[in-house]
Structure 1
Amino acid sequence: MVDVTALGARVASSAVTPLVRRLFVRDGPGAGLVDRPVRISALVSFRGEKRTVTPKDVEKIAGELVRRALAAAGPGEEPVGAAEAAVVKDALARTLARLGEITVEDYEAVGLGPERFARELSAGVPLAPYGLGEGGTLLYERLLHTASLHILNFLTQRSTYVARRQTVQAQQVARLVQAVDVLLERLPSRSAEDAGFEERYADHIAARYGTLTIYGLDAGTREWPLDTAYLSLEATRPRAGRGGSRGPEYPTVAAEQVLAGHDQVFLRGVAGSGKTTLVQWLAVTAASRVYDHGLPHLIGQVPFVLPMRRIVRPGAELPLPGDFLRAVGCPVAGEQPPGWVERVLRARRGVLLVDGIDEVAGDRRAAARRWLRELVRAFPGNLWLVTSRPSAVPEEWLAAEGFSELVLAPMGREGVATFVRRWHRAADAPEAVGESLLGAVRTTSELNRLATNPLMCGMLCALHRDRRGFLPQDRRSLYEAALTMLLERRDRERELDDPDGTPLPYAVQVQLLQKLAWWLIRNGRQEMDRAEALRIVGRALPALSLAANSGEEIYLALLLRSGLLREPAEERVDFLHRTFQDYLGARLAVEEMDFDLLVDHADRDEWEDVVLLALAHARPKEAEYLLRRLADSGDPRRTLLAAAGLRYAAEVAPEMRGRVEQGLVTHVPPGDFDAARELARAGGDLVLGLLPGPGEVDSRTAARVVHTAVSVGSEAALEFLRRFRDHPSSVVQQSLAAAWPQFDRDRYAREVLAHLPRQWSVDVSSVDDLRALAALGGWEHIRVRGAYRVEDLTGLIVADRLAHLTLDAAHPVEGLAWLSAFPGLRTVTVLTDPDTALAGRAPDRVKVQVPSADSPSRPQG
């Protein structure tokens, strides 16, 4: 039998819209140009003296809706018999007739939304007298919801007043109508068994991936609802090779939109950047039965979350589609109908989320790539997102398989502020505490550099609250404080209620954890066999005076109490996050004086943080040895790493510092924009003192110098950029205008933007951005990023100054009438496919040339 829940969706808008329109009087010219709401009962066509449709016609319309829904089910798959279908028609006709009785106005109805409006219509129609069975009742409810959706869409299109005043609601209704048609195209005639299992599987996805672990809440960690915790990230193209030179600004797109423009995406991101969070969000969104999220490519799709750490087993083959659910330990795997996954993939309805290629041992990555290639070829047309840390595999690792490569960008100023404020609300902390932390992050360069991803922001929030406003000012102290919080304080507080297990002092936990971490780093692994972890712990016990305990006991105590280890799959062990692994491994590397090993691996991305943190742990003579080896290597990467290491070493002799800085001078000024970013990352504030001023270089070099300072992103960098605000180069001016989101909004606006020509495009993403521009007297070219409200744009943009407006297509506003608020507006550009820009092409756009204010064709309010 067919899936009854999908029947309403199976009636396309091309079929429903003409039927719905027959319920209302046909408007003459200009009938929708009103300035007030209209009662719906005054619009229906089956009441009054001039009615064009009779009550009998309403029954015919209801009957046609039922007939088309049953026809969509296919012969022999009707969910109700002919007799019950006739009863459904009668109940639906009586409910639609309520349009002539209710006192709801069109403006109010759109605000209710289709679900509540359907309840409003059905409130006066008790179903008990109709004697409908379960299938008939469900069919009635689905068809009423579909009809209500199209009625509201008709009202938004009919009335300019409703479209203008209920902008957000009108957009949601329009997206839902689009979703109905998308579902019609994508949902095959599923069996009841498949449909029922998909419902149960979707519930599992929502429960399994609907929360995030947030650091520092309730003495360690707490689960946070995904819809509250999720922070929209951004993705961009990966950097060019070292010899390449691309422009100073790469176009970005919201990370949740990466599958909108490409079916297959390989996404890189550093530790803690939010890769797994994005995977969870996409899975939950695809599994949800809510379709107004603005992501039509996920409507009707089935997500499969495939963490590589869980599905790769030593000596075992990677799973075939039918084994996906069992491989990840899905509890409903045993209920899966035979061949279900293959049917989903053949219908091109799969969203395959392969998380963590970097967590596969190096000798298994070639097999993983073959597995991906064979699946993509066997089941074309599905959506694929594969994630990895940047250094795990070479560039364009999956290019031959048709994957587009993108990189998760660090959190911007607004993203950090949003995260910090949400964290403090979730922790029931005073708002002033969160604002105090934001002030410290914005004015302290080291904290500013640390607050680049959700993991580090969560640690900063927890430590700031735990220490009543005091925060460490360097990475080593920050990690040390975080370890104390997670190991010592958490253990002490849990001891009150959990006397079981072996108590482990803080120092013992650290010693054991760093041995496990250093083994993983040296072996290029992200996780180890449980048996290997037990051997490492067992060998350490005699030296730690724990020989009386078994390795199993100590390991379990460490696993349960530290909060830093986990078992992601049976017989597998890893660290909760790579950040802690690198910190603890670097600490042991220094204790064991493995300095040559560190230098020998310093050219590898995955060892970079380990080397820097080793410099933070090293004593002066040890740090000097490491810096000398790096600076004298003749390798540009190691030279820049030595420069970056100056910020980490506690004490560096002046001669050694000069030696490292001299090596850095060879990279100043940078030769291209990629080199500029690399120089900023390595040198930080140090490099600002080596960069030439605005009058010392040509315009092209000046643009690269500015980009270096922008990439540093500190308060000192802002001071440096002030010197370039009067530079005549258009490239420099554009770069300065584009850099606004990287710095303190108000200060940058006063000290840099205010001195630039108003013609360059600036991005705004909040009401505060609009206010800052208004304080400058307005701006000519504004690009609105993300969601927006028309009343904010019309109320805060200086109307006489605005000449060019660019809008994101992901957050459209219906109609153009509101543009009449800007008499000087000449063009409106809507980016219809911003993701194409990530592939190196200009984004598709719709450009509207706005007539002059005195033109009769100019949009009127």
Structure 2
Amino acid sequence: MVDPSALGARLASSAVAPLVKKLFVKDQPGAALVTKPVRISGLVSFTGEKKDVTPKDVEKIADELVRRALKAAGPGEIPVDAAEAVAVRTALAHSLAALGTLTIEDYEAVALGPEEFARTLRSHSAVTVATFALSRDAELFLDRLLHTASLHILNFFTQRSTYVARQQTQQSQQLAQLVKAVDVLLERLPSQSTEDAAFEARYAAYITARHGTLTIYGLDVYAGTSEWPLDTAYLSLEATRDRAWEGAAQVAAEQVLAQHDHVLLRGVAGSGKTTLVQWLAVTAADLTYRHGLTHLMGRVPFVLPMRRIVRPGTELPVPEQFLTSVGCLVTGEQPAGWVERVLRAGRGVLLVDGIDEISEERRKDAKRWLRDLTRTFPGNLWLVTTRPTAVPERWLDTTDFAELTLSPMAYDDVATFVRRWHRAAGVDESVGTALLRSVRSAPELDRLATNPLMCGMLCALHRDRRGFLPRDRKSVYRAALTMLVERRDVEREVAPGSAFGGRLPFDTQIQLLQKLAWWLIRNSRAEMDRSDAVRILGDAAPSMNIDGSGADVYRWLLLRSGLLREPADGRVDFLHRTFQDYLGARLAVQEMDFDLLVNQAGRTEWEDVILLAVAHARPVEAERMLRRLATDGTARGKLLAAASLRYATEVAPGARQHVEESVRSLIPPRTEYEAYALAEVGGPLVLGLLPGPDEAEGELAYLVPLVAARVGGPPALHFLTLFRDHPDERVQLVLTASWSTFDRELYLREVLAHLSRRPLVPVHGPEDLRALRSIGGWPNIKFVGPYRVEELTELIVPEQLTRLSLDAPHPVEGLAWLSAFPRLTDVDVDTEVDASRARQIPSGVRLNTPAK
């Protein structure tokens, strides 16, 4: 069989070029210069009011490309069967249809080159290759076809009469941007001494070298692969600010200082706060200014990790001590008074990382220090990071700090991280694709993949076990602990040296860590004082035949287990709360603290501990817990008992029946009210208890997805994808109505694009219309809120629309524009329409108005 990628390249230019040409409007004579960018979406022939090609024709063009490529193959060389050929054609059509959504110019597209342009089309496609479950050969065939088409598309752009003119315009714009950058630099770079300028260049080089690489979590399991260049490893996440009078506002995390001079950024452990600090430091130090972020141009970054600059018995550093306090290697070359001159000129970017990593007593000193510095040296940019609960809300409000929170990784962020991780590790892309499928299909794993730390852990575990990832949480945690605690040092040939000689056995380490975890859980703490940890470990050491003090054992676990951290001086916590819950539940079972566990059933933070305790318990113990949970009288307890059945290794038939009968009044729901109530009390826990699409019939068919939609979040979205092909019209109605509950782009790609019936879908603005257009349009649209006629006629695909509902807060001013939609049969409006306007309705269209 021929290489599938080579087969896709066999298409002759004479075969491809005419097909590609059909995708674009005819060139106009002359080479008119333009005053504003011309987007590729404005050139395609299957969008806009006057179309030579319809979205359906795009599918025909894709079909013809596939057919001709297969025809070019010789006997026995065809890499795909008939079914996969159809899937390849559909995926190719979706990628080509993305031409209508691209916001870049043809000049920029040519600069990308065919490989990157093909990737851009894939990333803008409404559906992913994974959606079609293509074989590896089919994926290669598709990639080569898209690459070949991209090559001809870019060549077509360069032959258009306006291309050269726009290229000249683009060059002029680049020169204008350069002039603007120079103006900014002149403003921020007052006359400097030669000594200051020379030192800043050396300091910038130091910052780039010091912070220009990342340690990719999980890669450090494999020698020599832990470091990765920051410019390719950095993953842009969202930061959210909740304003009571404006609602939630989102901004790319690296742009927070473009909107606010002073920012307090909160984020959970492993969420990427320190990585963001590194990226901002390196970007500000980049003297080529390729990033185009004018707010960072000409500025000098100071990275100030609180755990390093706050020392017992000493004051926080004054500006001239900034470099010394962090151990900067070029401190000795610093000109006297240089830092003060930079700050007086308002050129500093001060990145204060980890307020939570110092003691509460020193946080008061840090607050006073920040207040004094910001008032003494106004005009500089400040970013202060902390864990969410380390300091109260409005902690720095008196110094005009805006408070934002770093959001968890989005659905697509996880896919991007997994792809980059495997590329950095030198692993085939198909391994990462397989991991993503495993994570998406298991809610327990999906809940873990919320930040770079845990994503890296799952990647490493998946690779370590050669593509096999356990589906139950108990096994996942056990495997991850084995890799972290037992195998990492052995495989990296790390010497075991300790104060008590040798390496602590795996089971001994786990037993010690359990004691710390259970203490934290029982005391409702996320972290503990180091002195408490040392005392607990010291008390346990003699009974485990450890010849060392509690301090010796603590230091070993901190440095070698990979599970403990010191987030601040004198305090300790676990790498991730999930490991703490797993280990604590294990010890709770060993010590038979079952009454304590069951008594906490009403507290959501104990949910995972209880589930994992059932998983660890012996059959008799698990049965006792299940019966008590099922009979405690609360809906939460009954749901926990039902969810725990999946965790128990062995359950007697009588106990199982008792649990199932207790939850029968809750699941399945019988009315919409019960569905909403179930989602409210159960949250994500309930998703694993609901029947699937094959079991949901009658009223239950739409009540089940109604529960999931009300729960929300990534696990609920994955659950709803199981109902995409359900034949009940009410199910499809629930799926379309739930669009606004989830991430809109992701929901469109994973759910809406796959629905067959396509009932009335709520739309809240032009962005939603653009999204629907990217999948070829939608027949039944309900526009909620104010609208502009121009947006409706421009963005709704005319050939698709059959029913339009206008839920607007103002009267309809005219309806003649409805003639733009030839297949329209019904129009619903929420206001009365007078006779003159009613006569504007096109023939054959039924107007539905509110009943009097």
Matched, 1:563 2:548: no
C-alpha separation between the residues in 2 aligned to 1:188 and 1:602? 64
Q: Could you tell me how far 1:759 is from its partner in structure 2?
A: 5.9
Q: Could you tell me how far 1:749 is from its partner in structure 2?
A: 0.7
Matched, 1:443 2:447: no
Q: Does structure 2 retain, via aligned residues, the 8 Å contact 1:236–1:406?
A: yes
Match of 1:198 among 197, 200, 219: 200
What secondary structure sits across from 1:237 in the alignment? Answer: strand
Q: Which residue of 1 aligns with 2:473?
A: 475
Q: Which residue of 2 aligns with 1:484?
A: 482
Unaligned runs of 5+ in 1: 1-29, 35-106, 113-158, 782-796, 804-823, 826-861
Q: Which residue of 2 aligns with 1:53?
A: none
Q: Could you tell me how far 1:499 is from its partner in structure 2?
A: 8.5
Matched, 1:234 2:238: yes
Q: Could you tell me how far 1:232 is from its partner in structure 2?
A: 1.3
Q: Which residue of 1 aligns with 2:323?
A: 325
Change (3 A) 1:730 1:437: closer
TM value normalised by structure 2: 0.59
Q: Does structure 2 retain, via aligned residues, the 8 Å contact 1:587–1:613?
A: yes
Q: Does structure 2 retain, via aligned residues, the 8 Å contact 1:111–1:169?
A: no
Matched, 1:276 2:299: no
Match of 2:291 among 290, 293, 309: 293
Q: Does structure 2 retain, via aligned residues, the 8 Å contact 1:267–1:406?
A: yes
Q: Which residue of 1 aligns with 2:504?
A: 504
Q: Which residue of 1 aligns with 2:453?
A: 455
After TM superposition, the structure 1 = structure 2 runs for residues 223-372 of structure 1, keeping only pairs within 5 Å, are 223-238=227-242, 250-314=248-312, 316-362=314-360, 364-372=362-370
Match of 2:221 among 219, 228, 242: 219
Q: Could you tell me how far 1:753 is from its partner in structure 2?
A: 9.5
Amino acid at match of 2:200: E
Q: Which residue of 1 aligns with 2:184?
A: 182
Change (3 A) 1:407 1:693: farther
Q: Does structure 2 retain, via aligned residues, the 8 Å contact 1:646–1:657?
A: no
Match of 2:739 among 735, 751, 768: 735
Amino acid at match of 1:508: T
C-alpha separation between the residues in 2 aligned to 1:576 and 1:360? 17
Change (3 A) 1:664 1:564: same
Matched, 1:715 2:714: no
Q: Does structure 1 retain, via aligned residues, the 8 Å contact 2:241–2:404?
A: yes
Change (3 A) 1:231 1:584: same
Q: Could you tell me how far 1:196 is from its partner in structure 2?
A: 3.4
C-alpha separation between the residues in 2 aligned to 1:335 and 1:678? 62
Matched, 1:745 2:759: no
Q: Which residue of 1 aligns with 2:16?
A: none
Amino acid at match of 2:256: V
Amino acid at match of 1:355: D
Q: Does structure 2 retain, via aligned residues, the 8 Å contact 1:271–1:578?
A: no
Amino acid at match of 1:708: V
Amino acid at match of 2:718: E
Q: Which residue of 2 aligns with 1:431?
A: 429
Change (3 A) 1:477 1:362: farther
C-alpha separation between the residues in 1 aligned to 2:564 and 2:542? 22
After TM superposition, the structure 1 = structure 2 runs for residues 495-534 of structure 1, keeping only pairs within 5 Å, are 495=493, 502-517=502-517, 522=523, 524=525, 526=527, 528-529=529-530
C-alpha separation between the residues in 1 aligned to 2:677 and 2:172? 44
Q: Does structure 2 retain, via aligned residues, the 8 Å contact 1:491–1:561?
A: yes
Q: Which residue of 1 aligns with 2:20?
A: none
Q: Which residue of 2 aligns with 1:544?
A: 544
Q: Does structure 1 retain, via aligned residues, the 8 Å contact 2:712–2:742?
A: no
What secondary structure sits across from 1:749 in the alignment? Answer: helix
After TM superposition, the structure 1 = structure 2 runs for residues 402-421 of structure 1, keeping only pairs within 5 Å, are 402-421=400-419
Q: Could you tell me how far 1:398 is from its partner in structure 2?
A: 3.6
Q: Which residue of 2 aligns with 1:389?
A: 387
After TM superposition, the structure 1 = structure 2 runs for residues 35-50 of structure 1, keeping only pairs within 5 Å, are none
Q: Could you tell me how far 1:288 is from its partner in structure 2?
A: 1.9
What secondary structure sits across from 1:215 in the alignment? Answer: coil
Q: Which residue of 1 aligns with 2:824?
A: none
Q: Does structure 2 retain, via aligned residues, the 8 Å contact 1:688–1:709?
A: no
C-alpha separation between the residues in 2 aligned to 1:213 and 1:301? 26
Q: Could you tell me how far 1:511 is from its partner in structure 2?
A: 2.5
C-alpha separation between the residues in 1 aligned to 2:742 and 2:534? 53
Q: Does structure 2 retain, via aligned residues, the 8 Å contact 1:391–1:605?
A: no
Unaligned runs of 5+ in 2: 1-29, 35-106, 113-160, 784-794, 802-819, 822-852
C-alpha separation between the residues in 2 aligned to 1:654 and 1:450? 31
C-alpha separation between the residues in 1 aligned to 2:176 and 2:729? 45
Per-residue displacement from partner, 1:388-428 (whole Å, max 9, x unpaired)? Answer: 33333444444444333322223223212211111111111
Q: Could you tell me how far 1:330 is from its partner in structure 2?
A: 3.3
Amino acid at match of 1:563: G
C-alpha separation between the residues in 2 aligned to 1:635 and 1:319? 55
Q: Does structure 2 retain, via aligned residues, the 8 Å contact 1:565–1:575?
A: yes
Q: Could you tell me how far 1:506 is from its partner in structure 2?
A: 1.1
What secondary structure sits across from 2:221 in the alignment? Answer: coil
Change (3 A) 1:728 1:492: closer
Q: Does structure 2 retain, via aligned residues, the 8 Å contact 1:615–1:649?
A: yes
Change (3 A) 1:445 1:742: farther
Per-residue displacement from partner, 1:325-352 (whole Å, max 9, x unpaired)? Answer: 3443433445444443333333222323
Q: Does structure 1 retain, via aligned residues, the 8 Å contact 2:563–2:574?
A: yes
Q: Could you tell me how far 1:489 is from its partner in structure 2?
A: 2.0
Change (3 A) 1:735 1:693: farther
C-alpha separation between the residues in 2 aligned to 1:427 and 1:238? 38
Q: Does structure 1 retain, via aligned residues, the 8 Å contact 2:301–2:350?
A: yes
Per-residue displacement from partner, 1:458-492 (whole Å, max 9, x unpaired)? Answer: 12212222222221223332222111112222233
Q: Does structure 1 retain, via aligned residues, the 8 Å contact 2:300–2:349?
A: yes
C-alpha separation between the residues in 2 aligned to 1:361 and 1:670? 48
C-alpha separation between the residues in 1 aligned to 2:605 and 2:375? 31
What secondary structure sits across from 2:775 in the alignment? Answer: helix
Q: Which residue of 2 aligns with 1:102?
A: none
Q: Which residue of 2 aligns with 1:101?
A: none
Amino acid at match of 1:453: N
Q: Which residue of 1 aligns with 2:835?
A: none
Per-residue displacement from partner, 1:248-297 (whole Å, max 9, x unpaired)? Answer: xx553222122221222333333332222222222222222232324222
Higher RCO structure (Cα 8 Å, ≥6 apart)? 1
C-alpha separation between the residues in 2 aligned to 1:653 and 1:234? 44
Q: Does structure 2 retain, via aligned residues, the 8 Å contact 1:670–1:679?
A: no
Percent identity, please: 58
Amino acid at match of 2:298: G
Moved more, 461-470 or 341-350: 341-350
Moved more, 185-194 or 315-324: 315-324
C-alpha separation between the residues in 2 aligned to 1:763 and 1:361? 46
Per-residue displacement from partner, 1:712-769 (whole Å, max 9, x unpaired)? Answer: 4343223468889879999974835964434583554122894455965586999xx8
Per-residue displacement from partner, 1:574-606 (whole Å, max 9, x unpaired)? Answer: 655565455445544554456787789999998
After TM superposition, the structure 1 = structure 2 runs for residues 680-699 of structure 1, keeping only pairs within 5 Å, are 680-681=683-684, 683-686=686-689
Q: Does structure 1 retain, via aligned residues, the 8 Å contact 2:446–2:714?
A: no
Q: Does structure 2 retain, via aligned residues, the 8 Å contact 1:590–1:614?
A: yes
After TM superposition, the structure 1 = structure 2 runs for residues 35-114 of structure 1, keeping only pairs within 5 Å, are none
